[in-house]
Structure 1
Amino acid sequence: MNQLSFFDEPPAATLDAPLSERAVEDFIENVAEFDQFGTKTARDIIDEIPYFVNEFWTAGQRQAHSIHEISYRACFKAQLPQFFIERLTRPGDVVHDPFMGRGTTPVQAALMGRQAFGNDINPLSVLLTRPRLAPVDQGAVDKALRSVDYNSGKIRRDDLKAFYHPETLAGLEALRDWIDVHAPIGDHTPDPVADWIRMVSINRLSGHSPGFFSGRSMPPNQAVSVKAQLKINEKLGVTPPPRDIAAVVSKKTRTLLKDGQAPSQVRHSLHVGSAWDTPGIAERSVDLVVTSPPFLDIVQYALDNWLRCWFAGIDPETVKIAMHRTEESWTEMVHNVLAEQARIVRSGGHVAFEVGEVRNGKVLLEKLVWRATEGLPFERLGVLVNDQEFTKTANCWGVNNGSKGTNTNRIVVLRRH
């Protein structure tokens, strides 16, 4: 069998064959030669960690699929999982993200004909991801939207008039009631059209333009408080205007679907729970993990997601997102997560573990991830640094060259023994 290098596309004739095992030397040789965008890879070894810096992908030259256009805080670009999926898996393989967030990894995996697995402690993640893995069409969505009696809604929270015109708020309540009938929150196999409408509505709750249900506000993934919204209204001298709910959802649906959808036969498996405990995923069943954990900051889940939770019918106080405020605590969490990945990833499978720059580059999280793998059955292949301003590579090594640093993706790549 011909051995596949880390950065080569598998030949069409061997798509049904298992991927060959790759040695560390093979990985280093191929990443060092990567020059797709005309720039050779810079490489170094720092504290015994191999680093490879290049513009491995760029949003400018590879625009993401339209179905990814769902807002979520601290999410990575679809080009990141695409890069690893197309090089480390074949159609039909299982791709998983234990911190799936808005679902970028499983959705991209499905678009590429892979089986889409995902997990998140945040129940909103399933509501944002699952609808984009099931086939829907514009006509079915518009027909369902026309069936809702928007005049039947009863306003249950007067304080939300800070965001919405009373007619809009009543209409949203009617839509919530309709969704609860057709896609109740605890239903694992809801009506796909109703599930889709809820997903789109969650993303249209508040924003700065007429494309949202609210008056002028912050986006729904960073929803301000009622008190703060009242101050915004007072400062601008405005009150929320009425919105056509069906028109807003229909327009966003058209935007999301303009590039098509994932193949209908793709299997998906989504879970809600801690990333270090995913009993719903079988041992040695995953070919590739692409993920990014919460970084060293405090996630104010209730404050950030309270408006989305209101619409979805979720009590944000029940979402127990762990806080990891110290490097030691965060490293222990990563070790536990990677131990679970070692359980579910097959021999020869890979983990691409993305971390960003935190605290102005003073803390290099990839070093903590490297340390967290100790004692686990992984081969540490190196750290890829995707840097789209390649002239500032000094920052990638944690060196101050007179600027605040580059905005990079830093991915620790592991191979399961």
Structure 2
Amino acid sequence: MNAVAQISLFEAAPYQQDLADELRDFSHNGEATIIEERFGVPFFFNEFWTARQRQGHALQEVSYRACFKPQLPEFFISRLTGEGDVVYDPFMGRGTTPLQAVLMGRVGVGNDINPLSVYLTRPRADPPTISEIGTRLGEIDWRAAVDGDEELLVFYHPETLAEIKALKSYLSDREQSGELDRIDDWIRMVAINRLTGHSTGFFSVYSLPPNQAVSLNAQRKINEKRNQTPPRRVVPDIILKKSKGLLKDGVPPMPRTSQFVTSSADNAVGVADGSVDLVVTSPPFLDIVQYASDNWLRCWFANVDVGGVPIAMHKKPEQWRDFVRGVFVDLARVVKPGGHVCFEVGEVRNGKVELEALVLEAMEGLPFTTLGVLVNVQEFTKTANCWGVSNNAKGTNTNRIVIAQRK
């Protein structure tokens, strides 16, 4: 598609010109953006951001399954909002989008059906000081006797497990009494992120990365294969060390305004009508990621009933499309006229299911204008290579973002 024909797609709405023109003119390492028309909308191919371009803030270094890098929301927040604007993610996961918004002086709003997401996000939007964290860790009775959960010794040294259970009990008591504060909130967040991993920076023996807790039986097999037994880890020391790492780049600017909601993405109770300037989000992709099984140990520690969290899982593309439409119906409620939605999807099933096409179908008849689909290609090559071959064969090196504007 030539540039003249491409520009005509935007002539009906002059206020869309800035983003469209920037995507069209964007270049990376001398490579110009390639533009194709697919499904009746422009697709913009380039390496718009990489992990090497700029390091994410240390506060973003919390693991969660199937999360995008902070460079993605940063790209859109910097171009489509100003200071004080409201940036929202209805599937916030670890909170990458609302936290990035707060770090950039915006108002971060996040929602997720899993209460674990609030526990991982809220403390980092308004963190305590290292001094406050150290003092509180010194006040906890780490030798408080708590019975049960001996099966977890497959992950932990007996003394380490005793400290984990003491902390779990302390946090539960504080929450039930209404005494849990931002310092406790932070300690819980760090502990959730340190439960299992593959280095001495975690509470456990060698296991899978922290965003994917294996089953008890699977961990036994790992221990047998590696001929390992859980070593002693000192829980408060690990929490303090990780806290220092997370806070090494400083804290969000004041005011640290934010809102975090636990509800369904198609009915985000608490997010006000017409309050949002920008949405940057990524929904669950069909049945690819097993959120419940991946987070079972984190949910145990946080007293979340993992079986009672209705995580969206859809085996059929049309079911996923209908689910996405319900989300866009609610986004039409919360996004201001003129506001934007950046809806990131990925290739699944060896590139045979193009989720961006399903998103476009889901938006039909709703008050949104599609500006295009941005495809961030990590190894930029030629147009032909942008679709299901070589480095992008399984979507592992691309982000595909449907960009829409509220009418």
Normalised-by-shorter TM-score class: over 0.9
Equivalent-residue separation in structure 2 for 1:124 and 1:220 (angstroms) = 14
Tell whether the 8 Å contact from 2:127 to 2:182 is kept in structure 1 after alignment: yes
- Determine what percentage of the aligned residue pairs are the same residue: 55
Give the counterpart letter for 2:393 in structure 1: K
Question: How do 1:276-315 and structure 2 match up within 5 A?
Answer: 276-315=266-305
Q: Partner residue of 1:8?
A: none
Counterpart AA for 1:275: A
Instruction: Give the structure 2 partner of residue 132 of structure 1.
Output: 124
Please list the CA deviations of residues 151-201 of structure 1 after superposition, one character each: whole Å capped at 9, or x if unmatched: 1132411101111111111111111122223345x96x9401100000000
The match for 1:404 is 393
**Letter matched to residue 91 of structure 1:** E
Q: TM-score, normalised by structure 2?
A: 0.93
In structure 2, the gaps of 5 or more residues are 1-12
TM-score w.r.t. structure 1 length? 0.90
Q: 1:158 to 1:91 in 2, by over 3 A?
A: same
2:159 paired residue number: 167
Change (3 A) 1:137 1:392: farther
Q: Distance in 2 between matches of 1:405 and 1:242?
A: 40
Q: Contact 1:220–1:307 (CA<8 Å) still a contact in 2?
A: no
**Alignment length, in residue pairs?**
394
Deviation digits for residues 114-172 of structure 1, max 9, x if unmatched? 01101001110000000001131111111111111211132411101111111111111
Equivalences for residues 12-411 of structure 1 within 5 A: 22-35=14-27, 37-184=29-176, 190-396=180-386, 398=387, 400=389, 404=393, 407-411=397-401
Please say if residues 350 and 388 of structure 2, whose CA atoms lie closer than 8 Å, have aligned partners that are also in contact.
no
Give the structure 1 partner of residue 8 of structure 2: none
Deviations 1:202-231 (A, max 9, x none): 010011111111111113321111111112
Shift of 1:266: 2.3
User: Counterpart amino acid of 1:312?
Assistant: A
CA–CA distance in 2 between the matches of 1:209 and 1:345?
43
| Cα distance change, pair 287–355 in 1 and its aligned pair in 2 (3 A) | same
**2:394 and 2:215 mapped to 1: Cα distance?**
33
Is contact 1:168-1:213 (8 Å) kept? yes
1:401 Cα shift?
A: 6.1
Q: Deviations over 1:350-401 (max 9, x none)?
A: 00000011112111111111111101001100000011211154242x3546
Instruction: Give the secondary-structure state (helix, strand or coil) at the position aligned to 1:220.
Output: coil
CA distance in 1, matches of 2:44, 2:37: 9
Which runs of 5 or more residues in structure 1 are unaligned?
1-20
Counterpart-to-counterpart distance in 1, 2:281 and 2:111:
10
Q: Is the 8 A contact 1:220 1:305 kept in 2?
A: no
Q: Is the 8 A contact 1:135 1:264 kept in 2?
A: no
Deviates more, 1:28-37 or 1:365-374: 28-37
Would the aligned equivalents of 1:78 and 1:104 in 2 still touch at CA under 8 Å?
yes
Pick which of 32-41 and 124-133 moved more: 32-41
Q: Is the 8 A contact 1:206 1:212 kept in 2?
A: yes
Query: Using the alignment, how far apart are the partners of 1:408 and 1:105 within structure 2?
Result: 18
